[in-house]
């Protein structure tokens, strides 16, 4: 049988003195020797783990995200839902709850911006460990994809064709006062009677996303390639773990600032997309859109 690890399988070979590339205490990621690469796997992991102790600095935003989600789940979203369905809630009440929930999302992305200004936070914000594994699988650069907002709005516009106006009218509660009946009708017909300018506005928002998102991804790839190039160019011929850590740390520090800028730009894109959608809709449409978005965020967080 051919040994899997010939360097360790022969007593005769064990007696030979190790060459520089066979020394397991040395870390050299650009060495092409297969035996040396096998031996160094554990050393690479230990060096990288020591380099990036980011979890110590993530607790503040982790706590913020937990509190933000709890506020959405237990306070703001239920209030918006009640203002949509309650007979005593006026249009002004509905508008106030729409503004509150919109502000909740805007505040979140502003906080994410501030956190991304710290380079040691960026790796965690791009792959947040406080989110579950299934939730992380559907994230784009650390959070919701900007296209999700326009696609959600389109699904609401296109999916409200199950009932005709007669059936909708039969579901109204005419025992209530006239204002509530009007509110019921406006809510039920929100997407059927949407403004003619809404769909063109969605297309305009999506054109902007098609222009900006590829550029952001290109900047992300360029930063990753520069990081690898920096390592390849600056790696010393013979170095231990400490020297390796210094080289990796220097390369990472240079590119982490750019990754932070990319993250802040995509956060602002999310922020502006939600704001533009709400600005293009009526109060009833905005309420139903934010209600659906809030339920989606809570459902995504509950996947695990």
Question: What percentage of the chain reaches a pLDDT higher than 90?
Answer: 44
The sign of the CA dihedral 116, 118, 122, 128 is: negative
Spatial CB neighbours of 228, under 8 Å, sequence gap ≥ 6:
none
Q: What is the pTM of this model?
A: 0.73
45 confidence band (pLDDT: 50, 70, 90): very low
Q: What is the pLDDT of residue 102?
A: 98
Element (H, E) at 238: none
pLDDT of residue 203 exceeding 60, the answer is: yes
Q: What tokens does 281 get?
A: 């809709």
pLDDT higher than threshold 70 for residue 282 = yes
More confident residue, 8 or 296: 296
3-state secondary structure of 140: strand
Alpha-helix residue ranges (DSSP H) falling in 117-197: 122-126, 133-137, 146-158, 165-170, 178-188
Q: How confident is the model over 143-169, as pLDDT tens digits?
A: 999 999 999 999 999 875 555 444 444
Whether pLDDT at 2 is above 70: no
Enter the tokens of residue 191.
């997407």
Answer whether 78's CB lies under 8 Å from 71's CB.
Answer: no
Residue 105 has a CB neighbour count (10 Å cut-off) of 23
Task: Say if CB 262 and CB 142 are below 8 A apart.
Answer: no
The mean pLDDT of 18-22, rounded to a whole number, is 43
User: Do residues 101 and 76 touch, judged by C-beta distance below 8 A?
Assistant: yes
pLDDT digits (tens, 9 = 90+) for 50-90: 444 444 445 688 999 999 999 999 999 999 999 988 877 78
């Amino acid at each position: 049988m051919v040994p899997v690890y010939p360097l360790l399988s022969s007593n005769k070979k064990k007696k030979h003195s190790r060459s520089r590339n066979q020394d397991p205490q040395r870390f050299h990621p650009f060495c092409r020797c297969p035996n040396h690469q096998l031996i160094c796997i554990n050393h690479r992991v230990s060096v990288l783990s020591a380099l990036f102790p980011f979890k110590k600095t993530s607790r503040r935003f982790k706590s913020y995200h937990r509190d933000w989600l709890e506020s959405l789940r237990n306070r703001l979203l239920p209030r918006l839902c009640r203002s949509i369905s309650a007979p005593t809630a006026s249009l002004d009440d509905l508008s106030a709850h729409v503004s509150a929930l919109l502000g909740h999302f805007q505040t979140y992305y502003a906080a994410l911006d501030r956190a991304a200004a710290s380079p040691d936070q960026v790796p965690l914000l791009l792959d947040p460990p406080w989110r579950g594994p299934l939730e992380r699988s559907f994230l784009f650069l650390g959070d919701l994809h900007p296209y999700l907002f326009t696609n959600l709005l389109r699904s609401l516009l296109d999916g409200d064709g199950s009932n005709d106006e007669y059936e909708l009218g039969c579901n109204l509660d005419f025992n209530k006062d006239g204002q509530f009946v009007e509110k019921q009708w406006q809510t039920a017909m929100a997407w059927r009677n949407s403004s003619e300018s809404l769909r063109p506005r969605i297309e305009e928002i999506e054109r902007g996303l098609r222009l900006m998102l590829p550029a952001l991804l290109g900047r992300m790839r360029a930063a990753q390639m520069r990081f690898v190039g920096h390592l390849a160019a600056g790696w010393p011929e013979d170095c231990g773990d400490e020297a390796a850590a210094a080289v990796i740390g220097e390369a990472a520090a240079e590119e982490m600032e750019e990754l932070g800028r990319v993250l802040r730009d995509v956060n602002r894109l999310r922020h502006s997309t939600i704001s533009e959608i709400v600005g293009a809709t009526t109060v009833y449409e905005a309420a139903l859109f934010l209600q659906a978005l809030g339920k989606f965020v809570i459902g995504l967080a509950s996947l695990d």
